[in-house]
C-alpha cells in the first residue's frame, strides 16, 4: 500500500469518526430536547393537578387572590378586550402568556393555547425551557421539579417589564416611567407591589423565611391607592389651592383607562352642597402625574360664607364606567371657614 492510499484511508476514517460524533451529538440534542419538552409538559400537568398548590400552599393562596390569577377571567378585562380589534396580539398575550423565560424576558409575550383561565400563573414567571422552576436565592427545594437560582428575581423590574413595560401597549406600561424616576435608583417593582412576608416556602420547609408576597397589590387595592398620593389644602381670598403629590414610582394613574378625579365641594353648615367642582386626571386628558410630582390646582370659591366647609377629595375610577358606589376615596382634606377676626 503506497503513502497516498494510506493518507486517504486516514482521511476516510477521520471523516467517519467525525460523522459518528455528529450523529451522537445530534441524537443527544434530540433526546435532551425531548426530555425538556417532557418536563415542561409535566409542569403544566402538575399545575393542572394541583401540585403547585399542594407543595406551596401559602404562596398559592396569595396568588389565587391576586389579579394575576384573575388576569384572564376578570369580567372587566374580558369586556374591554372584546372591544379591541385583533385582541390576541394587543391584549390577550399578557393576560394568558406562555412562560416568559421561554419567550424572552422583556420581550412581548406570546399567547398560550392552554390553561388560559389560570391567567398569569406560577409557570408564566418561573418555568424555563428545560422544565425547571426558577426563583431567587433561598427558594425551597422540592422533589417534583428542578430548581434554578436566577438573579433576575432579586431585581425583578426587567421581569415585570415583559408585560408592564411594553411601550406599544400603553395601557399597562408602568415600567417606562418608573425607570425614568428617582425611585429606580433604590427600589424595584417588588418593593411596593410584593412586600416582604415571613412564611414557609413549601411543605418541605422546616422554618419560615422572608420572601415576597405574591399578591401584586395595585389599582384594586384600597390600601395601595391610599398610599399613592397626598393632598394639601390652602384657602385665601375666595380661592382654594390644592396640592397633589404623587407617591408612586410610576405614572399615576398607571393605566390608560384609569381616572383620578379631584373634587372640591363647598358645604353649608347643615352639610348642604353649595358648589362642587371637578378636575379629571387621566391618559385621555394627557395630564397624568409623574413619579413624585407636586401639582397645584386652584378653584374659585368666592361664594363661600363663614361657617362653610371646603372638602377636597381625590377619587379613583378603575374604568370610565365605574359606578359611583365602587369608586375609591384615595385622600380627603377639609377646611372650615371661621369668622374673620376684627
46-68 residue pLDDT tens: 999 999 999 999 999 999 999 99
pLDDT score recorded for residue 89? 87
**342 pLDDT tier (thresholds 50, 70, 90):** very low
217, pLDDT greater than 90: yes
Contact 340, 306 (CB under 8 A): yes
Residue linked to cell 415583559: 162
**What CA–CA distance (Å, rounded) separates 95 from 245?**
31
| Residue range 146-178, pLDDT digits in tens | 899 999 999 999 999 999 999 988 888 999 999
Report residue 336: phi and psi, to 5°: -95, 130
**What CA–CA distance (Å, rounded) separates 235 from 239?**
6
pLDDT score recorded for residue 341? 44
Contact 257, 243 (CB under 8 A): no
Contact 315, 280 (CB under 8 A): no
**What CA–CA distance (Å, rounded) separates 309 from 142?**
61
- Pick from 152, 329, 149: which is nearest to 228 by CA? 329
Give percent of the chain above pLDDT 90.
76
**What CA–CA distance (Å, rounded) separates 163 from 166?**
6
pLDDT score recorded for residue 14? 61
pTM of the full structure:
0.85
**What CA–CA distance (Å, rounded) separates 319 from 333?**
24
**280 pLDDT tier (thresholds 50, 70, 90):** very high
Beta strand 147-149 with 133-135 is parallel
230, pLDDT greater than 50: yes
Whole-Å CA distances, 44 to 19, 77, 127, 132, 144: 37, 24, 9, 12, 12
pLDDT score recorded for residue 314? 98
Considering all CA atoms of the chain, what is the largest pairwise distance in Å, rounded to the nearest integer? 128
Q: SS3 string of 7-21?
A: HHHHHHHHHHHHHHH
pLDDT score recorded for residue 268? 94
**1 pLDDT tier (thresholds 50, 70, 90):** low
pLDDT score recorded for residue 23? 64
Residue linked to cell 400563573: 121
| 3-state secondary structure at position 206 | coil
| 3-state secondary structure at position 105 | coil
pLDDT score recorded for residue 120? 98
**Rounded mean pLDDT of 265-283?**
95
The alpha helices in 166-303, defined as continuous H runs, are 175-179, 189-193, 222-227
260, pLDDT greater than 50: yes
**What CA–CA distance (Å, rounded) separates 237 from 68?**
49
Cell numbers representing residue 244 in the block = 397633589
**What CA–CA distance (Å, rounded) separates 291 from 250?**
5
**What CA–CA distance (Å, rounded) separates 168 from 224?**
26
Residues in the chain: 342
Q: What is the mean pLDDT of the chain?
A: 90
The alpha helices in 75-174, defined as continuous H runs, are 75-81, 87-90, 92-95, 100-103, 122-126, 157-164
Q: Is the peptide bond before 253 cis (omega within 30 degrees of 0)?
A: yes
140, pLDDT greater than 90: no
pLDDT score recorded for residue 195? 95
Beta strand 273-282 with 133-135 is unpaired
Cell numbers representing residue 179 in the block = 425607570
Contact 217, 68 (CB under 8 A): no
**Rounded mean pLDDT of 256-267?**
96
Contact 308, 336 (CB under 8 A): yes
**What CA–CA distance (Å, rounded) separates 328 from 219?**
10
Amino acid at each position: 500500500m503506497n503513502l497516498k492510499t494510506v493518507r486517504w484511508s486516514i482521511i476516510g476514517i477521520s471523516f467517519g469518526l467525525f460523522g459518528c460524533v455528529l450523529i451522537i451529538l445530534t441524537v443527544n440534542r434530540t433526546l435532551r430536547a425531548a426530555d425538556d419538552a417532557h418536563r415542561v409538559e409535566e409542569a403544566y400537568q402538575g399545575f393542572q393537578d394541583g401540585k403547585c398548590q399542594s407543595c406551596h400552599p401559602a404562596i398559592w393562596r396569595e396568588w389565587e387572590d391576586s389579579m394575576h390569577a384573575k388576569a384572564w377571567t376578570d369580567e372587566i378585562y374580558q369586556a374591554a378586550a372584546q372591544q379591541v380589534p385583533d385582541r390576541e396580539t394587543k391584549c390577550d398575550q399578557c393576560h394568558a402568556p406562555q412562560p416568559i423565560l421561554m419567550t424572552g424576558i422583556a420581550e412581548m409575550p406570546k399567547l398560550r393555547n392552554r390553561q388560559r383561565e389560570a391567567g398569569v400563573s406560577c409557570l408564566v414567571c418561573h418555568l424555563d425551557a428545560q422544565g425547571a422552576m426558577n426563583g431567587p436565592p433561598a427558594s425551597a427545594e422540592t422533589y417534583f421539579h428542578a430548581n434554578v437560582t436566577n438573579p433576575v428575581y432579586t431585581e425583578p423590574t426587567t421581569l415585570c417589564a415583559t408585560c408592564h413595560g411594553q411601550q406599544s401597549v400603553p395601557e399597562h406600561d408602568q415600567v417606562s416611567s418608573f425607570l425614568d424616576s428617582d425611585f429606580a435608583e433604590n427600589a424595584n417593582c417588588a418593593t411596593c407591589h410584593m412586600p416582604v412576608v415571613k412564611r414557609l416556602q413549601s411543605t418541605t420547609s422546616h422554618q419560615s423565611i422572608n420572601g415576597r408576597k405574591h399578591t401584586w397589590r395595585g389599582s384594586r387595592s384600597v390600601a395601595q391607592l391610599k398610599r399613592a398620593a397626598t393632598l394639601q389644602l390652602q384657602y385665601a381670598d375666595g380661592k382654594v389651592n390644592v396640592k397633589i403629590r404623587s407617591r408612586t414610582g410610576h405614572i399615576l394613574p398607571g393605566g390608560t383607562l384609569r381616572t383620578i378625579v379631584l373634587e372640591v365641594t363647598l358645604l353649608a353648615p347643615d352639610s348642604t352642597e353649595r358648589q362642587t367642582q371637578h378636575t379629571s386626571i387621566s391618559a385621555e386628558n394627557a395630564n397624568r402625574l409623574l413619579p413624585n410630582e407636586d401639582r397645584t390646582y386652584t378653584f374659585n370659591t368666592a361664594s363661600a360664607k363663614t361657617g362653610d366647609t371646603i372638602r377636597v377629595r381625590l377619587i379613583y375610577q378603575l374604568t370610565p364606567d365605574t359606578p359611583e358606589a365602587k369608586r375609591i376615596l384615595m385622600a380627603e382634606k377639609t377646611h372650615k371657614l371661621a369668622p374673620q377676626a376684627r
